[in-house]
Amino acid sequence: MKVRLLLYSLLRDMHGDREITLEIEEGARIQDLFDKALAQSRGLAEAVSIVGKERILVLDSKGRRIDMNAPVEDEQYHIMPPPEGGEPVLKTGILRKGDHIDLNKLVSEAAGTSKSLGAVAIFVGVVREENFSREVRTLIYEDAGKLSEDKLREIAQSIAQKHDLSYVAAFHYTGELKPGDTTMVIVLGGRGRKETFPALSEIVDLIKTNLPIWKKEVYSDGSYSYILGGKPYYPKRRNTTS
């Protein structure tokens, strides 16, 4: 499959041409396409290193923003640096226990997104050892796959725009977790505390109330409850005998 990449601004200038045509295999992702372009063009690779790979925008032929993990489905894509006004850096993901988050790296990334940045705010959620006066043995988060991933991205984008942030990283863990395990990591970068503190509180609330992830608590006595709307619901045991 042949795919045309149209380049803009610094990317076009340092590559030396407005476009690159690549041959890509069926089933490839945008990331594969992007990596192949960087390997083929030293000038483009240098331009991307100047701008920052995470800040590059990829649009399809209809002008829609495309994620790097999306499959290659179009014959033409627009590859561009952020516009003059700047584009917030967004990093989101639904993680499993064992997936590592380098908090220092996120803070460093946030600090480098804008010359006017003056604050980085951090929230790390953990599993409680006790909840509703009961000892928690295990916490199980159930997610809705891509639906959860897309919604988390949408929340991050809305918070970045509302509070004029240059950086939003939002990650939520799912699966079976133990007391003390990390459940959520949020890192925000903005002009100062007046922008980042309210944004931090708001994004946590939005994730808890709008992200399609459900929490089941298993207690030390073997009983369990589903936490819905901030309240525990204890399923009635079915009588399977006739």
pLDDT level of residue 52 (50, 70, 90 thresholds): confident
Tokens standing for residue 27: 């089933």
pLDDT level of residue 184 (50, 70, 90 thresholds): very high
Residue type, 17: D
User: Could you tell me the pTM of the whole model?
Assistant: 0.65
Residue 163 clears pLDDT 50, i.e. is over it:
yes
In order of start, what are the domains of the chain with their CATH numbers? 2-80 (3.10.20.30), 89-233 (3.90.1170.40)
Give the E-state strand segments of 113-223 in sequence order: 119-126, 130-131, 134-143, 167-177, 182-190, 213-219
88-122: pLDDT as tens digits: 889 999 999 889 999 999 999 898 888 788 999 99
pLDDT of residue 241: 46
